[in-house]
Structure 1
């Protein structure tokens, strides 16, 4: 039996078909973890279905409430502007539908765990003093979003037993990947690994991959976080805290 309040997981969207497929795989993990939960996938742009269309379908089915969970790693432009704008329009068009919006996914230790698992799967394990790790993210004009990534890299630098760990950004913020690699080599790193602070493949993950391989053709490159069980649990937890009646059941 499904719950009466749908979880609408909304990702940014991409022209790269790998991105939508990866997000859809994450949503399938959420469904597998919580079979009674009505989980729907939506996108802000470039992919279908769009968030507004999904909310219209939910309203058309007679639902009185929906919870939008932004599949965003930080609170930057998409979370602060795009999602609220679409939700406001949906509320105007469907006044009988109450739309709640949860927090974004980050920051949360489960994202760090997933990123470390992706690094380990690529061959970059903690405790290697010759290894320097670049933690690459999209980058934002909103400094607090970048600061979250820098803080994760700082914790890794202090506790993972590597030569160092540096944040890097694909756009809109510094340092870039090449600068991060230079800093790591100055600290004695003989080998480089690229950690991913991206949810899914796409243009920006490809960009940072190309940049790190240009700096070090032997660099180890981790996959985006993708359909990780802890990320799926985090999605459910964000839903539960936004929808109080579900907290006891799904938190």
Structure 2
């Protein structure tokens, strides 16, 4: 049996979020092509490709077994119910195929390393990088008090926004890549 991989996230109305998963799937396919040469991205809802579309693409490329890998941290209702149901519905249209839903990302040394890396980004920028400065994410008491008093809980500052309304900055690896028109490639997924 030839195995296909579907990496599935929730899906978003924000193009950059969907494109990030698609880039993760592409990079996974490049890195692990010797083991899994059929890799497709999917969004559970709100965007294409759907799980059904990705499943059909895997089958078209020769897969008879599909491993659906949730790009989710915990074992919530999407992992226990929604994703398996969507995979089962997709499989009905492709007799002779089997699917299996993998565990979510969960607790893993690599997740712990990533959390450490994110915390060190804050620390290394003196807890005031461009991605948070002027927003409620910064923890600045004056900003928090103002936004809480307004009842919005959202920061509206003067930093530029992209086409999706996301603020762009110069030090955050996500928004910097987006503001330059590039796709963010996490270091752990960059080709060796």
Q: TM-score range by the shorter chain?
A: 0.5 to 0.7
1:147-173 deviations in whole A, cap 9, x for unaligned?
A: xxxxxxxxxxxxxxxxxxxxxxxxxxx
Distance in 2 separating the partners of 1:95 and 1:228: 37
Residue 40 of structure 2 aligns to a residue whose secondary structure is strand
Distance in 1 separating the partners of 2:66 and 2:40: 10
Deviation at 1:57, TM superposition (A): 2.7
Residue 41 of structure 1 aligns to a residue whose secondary structure is strand
Distance in 2 separating the partners of 1:43 and 1:117: 27
**TM-score, length basis structure 1:** 0.50
Is contact 1:9–1:68 with CA below 8 Å preserved after alignment?
Answer: yes
Residue 3 of structure 2 aligns to a residue whose secondary structure is coil
Distance in 2 separating the partners of 1:83 and 1:62: 22
Deviation at 1:102, TM superposition (A): 0.8
Deviation at 1:222, TM superposition (A): 7.2
Residue 6 of structure 1 aligns to a residue whose secondary structure is strand
Distance in 2 separating the partners of 1:53 and 1:39: 12
- Which residue is equivalent to 2:29? 31
- Which residue is equivalent to 1:98? 98
- Which residue is equivalent to 1:119? 119
Distance in 2 separating the partners of 1:62 and 1:27: 18
Residue 40 of structure 1 aligns to a residue whose secondary structure is strand
The 1:59–1:28 alpha-carbon spacing in structure 2 relative to 1, beyond 3 Å, is closer
Q: Which has the higher contact order (CA 8 A, sep 6+)?
A: 1
Distance in 1 separating the partners of 2:142 and 2:185: 28
Deviation at 1:12, TM superposition (A): 0.9
The 1:78–1:217 alpha-carbon spacing in structure 2 relative to 1, beyond 3 Å, is farther
Distance in 2 separating the partners of 1:32 and 1:63: 17
Deviation at 1:113, TM superposition (A): 0.6
- Which residue is equivalent to 1:212? 137
1:50-109 deviations in whole A, cap 9, x for unaligned?
A: 011111233344432111111111111211121011012123222311111111111212
Decide which structure has greater strand share.
Answer: 1
Matches within 5 A, 1:1-251: 4-36=2-34, 37=36, 38-124=38-124, 210-213=135-138, 215-216=140-141, 227-228=185-186, 230=188
Unaligned runs of 5+ in 1: 126-190, 194-205, 233-251
Decide which structure has greater helix share.
Answer: 1
For these two proteins, the number of residue pairs brought into alignment is 150
Unaligned runs of 5+ in 2: 145-170, 175-183
- Which residue is equivalent to 1:179? none
Is contact 2:67–2:101 with CA below 8 Å preserved after alignment?
Answer: yes
RMSD over aligned CA atoms reads: 3.5
Deviation at 1:40, TM superposition (A): 1.0
**TM-score, length basis structure 2:** 0.63
